């Protein structure tokens, strides 16, 4: 987090800047180190190819080391961007937790973004006539309430349920959260610990049902004719988990991009590109479900000492029920850093019924001073921004989104790398805590 800049800090920034210039002179290219889980490799390589073509001076190295290895390397400073199948709060490997804790004790601040959606797809043998299941029927199968395919429109066969192990397969975290939801799994369910052979079992057994990431299902259907299975269309849940990222895919998880707050300009540039409309299209074309609509580019108009941002419509997140706008009232009130207030820019929102509200950076309505959970649109709390010299850079997180501001002179701030009067706000729809 960013607090008041001391003169010592400014000298440190200048020293680091000078060292950066020397490093740039010593090396012909800067390398952005992207690491992470196997499921993220394909789209990461595609993003690398596209980005490198437009930025030949920046080398991008993509390494598949697993989420654990990637996060350990990120904590040690030997990775810049890590794509993980689990959020930081859900990490349970002791060595990962120790590495993150040690880095945080040393002053490292980690930021994570939900950058893609990884649906878990349920599959059956092609000779099984069942092609559609309601969410409740799927849950009943996996909890042992339904035990015969004839109960859900199939033939008279006992259902063979395949499931993976919670400690060995991160997909089981999603199945446990979204599908089982606290219920015991079906008695006699067969366990494929890491979930890697489940679809092979399904292709060899007409009575079996199993699952895998949508990415791997599509890859097998396209590239592995020995595996024969059909993806089942599962209806939406009537009561989705609060953290479920998608209505279309009722059992799904976010894939998380994790980085350090001291991320380099080059690595931040690659990250911003991956979340841009072009980057998200590349992600989608490589068998992943992007966080579509997650990005807004806002042009800041300065007039009479104030910065005005256009209206944002958060339509998918709230089903069109609310519009949100951000305002930066003056060059000294961009950033909130006070324990008694909120860190970041507040979103002032108007609900469909005309009620004026304010959302904090966690996506919940403001309380405390705003006990009635409403804030007149004309009122703005004045909170100062640390004094900045031209060229100083602020990098912070707003609603889980990376925001980089470079002070360019008296009365203006801009997004580093995108021009003096533009601010890039990456708006993952998760910020409003609603699935889409």
3-state secondary structure of 168: coil
Q: What is the pLDDT of residue 241?
A: 66
Q: Are residues 138 and 74 in the same domain?
A: no
Q: What is the mean pLDDT of the chain?
A: 67
What's the whole-number mean pLDDT along residues 297-325? 27
Domain boundary among 252, 282, 303: 252
Q: Does residue 287 sit in the same domain as residue 305? A: no
Residues 298 and 286 in one domain: no
What pLDDT was estimated at residue 18?
38
Q: For the residues 227-238, what does the mean pLDDT come to? A: 86
Q: Give yes or no: residues 179 and 157 share one domain.
A: yes
State the virtual CA torsion across 246, 250, 254, 255 in degrees, nearest 10. Answer: -120
Expressed as residue numbers, the domain containing 327 is 293-436
pLDDT per residue as tens digits for the range 38-49? 999 999 999 999
Last residue of a domain, one of 292, 312, 344: 292
State whether 432 and 325 are in the same domain. yes
Same domain, 284 and 220: no
| Burial status of residue 337 (CB atoms within 10 A of its CB: 0-12, 13-18, 19 or more) | middle
Looking up residue 223, the CATH number of its domain turns out to be 3.40.190.10
CB 68 within 8 A of CB 93: yes
Say whether both 53 and 94 belong to one domain: yes
**Quick one: average pLDDT of 52-59?**
94
pTM for the structure as a whole:
0.60
Work out the number of other CB atoms within 10 angstroms of the CB of residue 312: 16
Residue 242: its pLDDT value, please?
A: 61
- Domain count within the chain: 3
215 and 327 in a single domain? The answer is no
Task: Read off φ and ψ for residue 135, nearest 5 degrees.
Answer: -60, -40
| Token pair listed for 266 | 């080059």
> In terms of domains, do 77 and 194 share one?
no
CB 114 within 8 A of CB 291: yes
pLDDT at 84 over 80: yes
Query: For residue 337, what are its two tokens?
Result: 């850093």
Final residue before a domain boundary, out of 274, 292, 310: 292
Give tens-digit pLDDT for 204-218: 999 999 999 999 998
For 278, other C-beta atoms within 10 Å of its C-beta total 14
402 bridge partner residues = 397
Tens digits of residue pLDDT in 254-293: 888 999 988 998 998 898 888 776 887 888 888 888 764 3
Q: Is the pLDDT of residue 423 over 80?
A: no
HSE of 200, CA atoms in CB hemisphere, 13 A: 5
Residue 243's pLDDT is what? 62
Radius of gyration (C-alpha) of the chain in whole angstroms? 24
Task: Describe the crossing of helices 41-54 and 277-284 by its angle, rounded to 10 degrees.
Answer: 140
Positive/negative CA dihedral, 150, 151, 157, 163:
positive
Q: Assess whether 4 and 66 both reside in one domain.
A: yes
Mean pLDDT of 120-129: 95
Q: Place 226 in a pLDDT band, splitting at 50, 70 and 90.
A: confident
Task: Give the tokens for residue 271.
Answer: 């990250």
Element (H, E) at 55: none
Confidence band for 337, pLDDT divided at 50, 70 and 90: very low
Place of tokens 């919670």: 166
Cα–Cα separations (whole angstroms), residue 232 to 131, 196, 268, 336:
5, 18, 39, 48
Give yes or no for residue 94 having a pLDDT over 80.
yes
Are residues 67 and 133 located together in one domain of the fold? no
Asked if 135 and 237 sit in the same domain, the reply is yes
Strand partners, 255: 116
Whether residue 57 has pLDDT greater than 90:
yes
């Amino acid at each position: 987090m960013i607090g008041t800049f001391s003169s010592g800090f400014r000298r440190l920034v200048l020293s680091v800047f000078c060292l950066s210039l020397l490093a740039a002179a010593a090396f012909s290219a800067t390398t952005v180190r992207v690491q992470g889980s196997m499921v993220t490799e394909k789209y990461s390589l595609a993003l690398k190819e596209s980005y490198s073509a437009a930025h030949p001076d920046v080398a991008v190295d993509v390494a598949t080391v697993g989420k654990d290895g990637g996060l350990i390397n990120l904590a040690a400073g030997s990775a810049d961007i890590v794509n993980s199948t689990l959020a930081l709060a859900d990490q349970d490997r002791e060595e990962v937790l120790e590495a993150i804790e040690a880095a945080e004790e040393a002053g490292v601040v980690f930021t994570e973004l939900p950058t893609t959606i990884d649906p878990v797809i349920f599959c059956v043998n092609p000779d099984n006539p069942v092609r559609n299941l309601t969410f409740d029927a799927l849950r009943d199968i996996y909890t042992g309430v339904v035990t015969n395919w004839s109960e859900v429109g199939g033939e008279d066969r006992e259902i063979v349920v395949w499931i993976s192990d919670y400690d060995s397969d991160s997909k089981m975290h999603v199945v446990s959260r979204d599908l089982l939801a606290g219920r015991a799994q079906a008695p006699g369910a067969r366990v494929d610990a890491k979930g890697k052979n489940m679809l092979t079992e399904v292709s060899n057994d007409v009575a079996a049902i199993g699952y895998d990431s949508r990415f791997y299902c599509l890859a097998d259907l396209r590239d592995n004719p020995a595996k024969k299975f059909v993806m089942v269309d599962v209806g939406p849940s009537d009561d989705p988990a609060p953290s479920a990222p998608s209505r279309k895919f009722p059992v799904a998880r976010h894939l998380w991009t994790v980085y350090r707050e001291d991320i380099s300009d080059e690595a931040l540039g690659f990250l911003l590109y991956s979340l841009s409309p072009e980057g998200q299209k590349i992600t989608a074309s490589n068998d992943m479900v992007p966080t579509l609509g997650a990005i807004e580019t806002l042009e800041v108009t300065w007039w009479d000492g104030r910065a005005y941002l256009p209206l944002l419509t958060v339509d998918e997140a709230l089903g069109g029920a609310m519009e949100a706008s951000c305002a930066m009232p003056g060059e000294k009130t961009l950033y909130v850093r006070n324990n008694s207030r909120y860190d970041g820019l507040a979103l002032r929102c108007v609900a469909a019924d005309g009620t004026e509200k304010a959302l904090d950076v966690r996506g919940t309505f403001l309380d405390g001073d705003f006990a009635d959970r409403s804030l007149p649109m004309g009122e703005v709390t004045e909170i100062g921004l640390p004094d900045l010299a031209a060229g100083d850079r602020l990098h912070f997180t707003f609603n889980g989104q990376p925001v980089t501001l470079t002070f360019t002179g008296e009365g203006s701030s801009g997004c580093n790398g995108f021009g003096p009067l533009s601010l890039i706000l990456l708006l993952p729809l998760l910020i409003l805590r609603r699935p889409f």
